[in-house]
Chains A and B, each alone.
Chain A
Amino acid sequence: MENKDVLYARWLSGEISDDELRSLEGEDALTELKRVTQAADSWSMPKYDTSAGFDKFKQKHQAPAAKVRKLNWFAVGGIAASLLVVAFFGIPYLTNPNEVLFAENGQNQTVELSKGSEVWLNDGSTVEYNARNWENQRTIELSGEALFEVTKGSPFIVNTQNGSIRVLGTQFNVRAWGKNLYVECYEGRVEVTANKQEIVLMANESVNVVLGKMSEKKPISNTAPFWQSSTSRFYDERLEDVFEELERQFDVRVNRKASDRRFSGSFGHQDLDNALRSICKPLGLKFTISEDKKVIEIE
């Protein structure tokens, strides 16, 4: 055999047969090699979550200079504020085709979209929109909660997984966590569509959509969403959703049993202990906070 030094490699890739190998190296060699390869072939490495890995990458690394220069057409349109987006978020400006903005847990974010239209993102929320065609089609995909202030122009549409909101020029807050969609209108008017139901909200009105079912309009007295004054307020909402909001605001994990209880009330975003007390006390629940203040156990 001329290629003695690659013999086993060739056997493994099927370029020589078992019989050939046996005649060259003997029965034992074959048995031992098979034992080794069969064992190693049954092993695996952990599956790497590439999409989470990519998000991590985006959060950690700035875009290369070439990326930012690409925005020139955008700046020409008079929207220099887009550069602020990079500064605020530290996310590579990867615009093709959609702009994705994300507010990390524990920090609200403000973004000027264009010509005075602005969006404030609550913790853990994401908006995605097509920056290129923005002037003609002001459409935003929202996951989470955000306050919008919209200047007059082409129709402004916010799509969420539970329904969409269409406006002409106004100020309104959209909360779209889980299966819930809650819209408050502070100025102008908005049209909310969910599950083929439509409703028009005037200033100081709100509507709640739970599991595809739209409630009656309710008046509101606040002129801005509560989360903007660092408070989360709930009206007859699932306890599950309340704890999720707490997790986002304080960037903690809450270990709790599944529950179908409901909660009305509010908590502030300054002090974790106070916030937990505001939720747990009325419901007769007990809680403990871990030493590093990252994990909360609910009894």
Chain B
Amino acid sequence: MPQSVCEEEVFRSVFSTHAEPLINFMYYRTGDYAASEDLMQDAFAKLWKECAKVALEKSKSFLFTVANNSFLNNVKHQKVVLKFEQLGHSQISNETPQFLLEEAEFKLQLETAIASLPEGQRVVFLMSRIDKMTYKEIAENLELSVKAIEKRMHKALTTLRKTAEKL
């Protein structure tokens, strides 16, 4: 018999695997971490309720779709502001104050530019760079073709490249 999502162990492992990518996904759309966690929790509640109807291998796209739908239906669209933590510093060792200031300024500009990207492009770019997902994985999550993901990525990079050009 295939494993059922109704089994606690199975459900728990689905949770451990997908909770974080799901929150991150919603954060890239909303810019609100607490709201993103709520959307994630609600998506899992729906999965739990419908566990008998959702096959294990479909649970991931089920979760992403549900979270996405309730975002579209319930969350007021507002200007998105994104902030990311810096993982240590760049490789350059002699960091002058001037350089650090420029780096910080660049980060801020880039975050703003990313936040202003069309939603679809923004999500793809961040899943790829922050969550280190492959185009194939992103395509599965969003139920799109790999080619569509590549197009969005190209567009996102084209815009962001212009931001870098100006600085």
Q: Which residues of A contact B (CB under 8 A)?
A: 3, 5-10, 12-13, 28-29, 32-33, 35-48, 50-51, 53-54, 56-57, 60-61, 63-64, 66-67, 92, 94-96
In the assembled complex, the Cα of A25 lies from the Cα of B125 at a distance in Å of 21
Distance A7 CA – B153 CA, assembled complex (angstroms): 9
Whether the pair A32, B161 counts as a contact (CB closer than 8 A) is yes
Q: State the CA gap A43–B45 with chains docked (Å).
A: 30
Is A45 a contact partner of B15 (Cβ separation < 8 A)? no
Residues of B within 8 A of A (CB): 6-9, 11-12, 15-16, 19-20, 23-24, 27, 33, 37, 40-41, 44-45, 48-52, 84-88, 90, 106-107, 110, 114, 125-126, 128-131, 134-135, 147, 149-151, 153-155, 157-158, 160-161, 163-165
Say whether, besides A50-B20, A92-B48, A12 and B161 are in contact (CB < 8 Å). no
Of B9, B51, B151, the contact of A66 (CB 8 Å cutoff): B51
B153→A6 contact, CB < 8 A: yes
Q: Which residue of B lies closest to A41 (CB)?
A: B129
Q: Which residue of A lies closest to B23 (CB)?
A: A48
- Nearest 8 CB-CB pairs, A to B? A43-B84, A94-B8, A9-B153, A6-B150, A9-B150, A8-B157, A32-B164, A40-B129
How would you classify the secondary structure of chain B's contact residues: helix, strand, loop or mixed?
A: helix
B56 to chain A, nearest CB (A): 15
Give every chain A residue within 8 A of B45 (Cβ-Cβ): 57, 60-61
Tell me if A61 and B48 are in contact (CB < 8 A).
yes
- Cross-chain contact B19 with A53 (CB below 8 angstroms): yes
A54 to B131, CA, bound (A): 21
Chain A residues closer than 8 Å to B90, beta-carbon distance:
38, 42
A36 with B160: CB separation less than 8 A: yes
Q: Are B19 and A36 in contact (CB under 8 A)?
A: no
Does B154 lie within 8 Å of A40, measured CB to CB? no
Q: Name B15's contact: one of A12, A33, A53, A67 (CB within 8 Å).
A: A53
Residue from A10, A50, A95 within 8 A of B16 (CB atoms) = A50
Given A10-B150, A36-B164, decide whether A54 and B16 contact each other with a Cβ distance below 8 A: yes
Contact status B157-A9, CB under 8 Å? yes
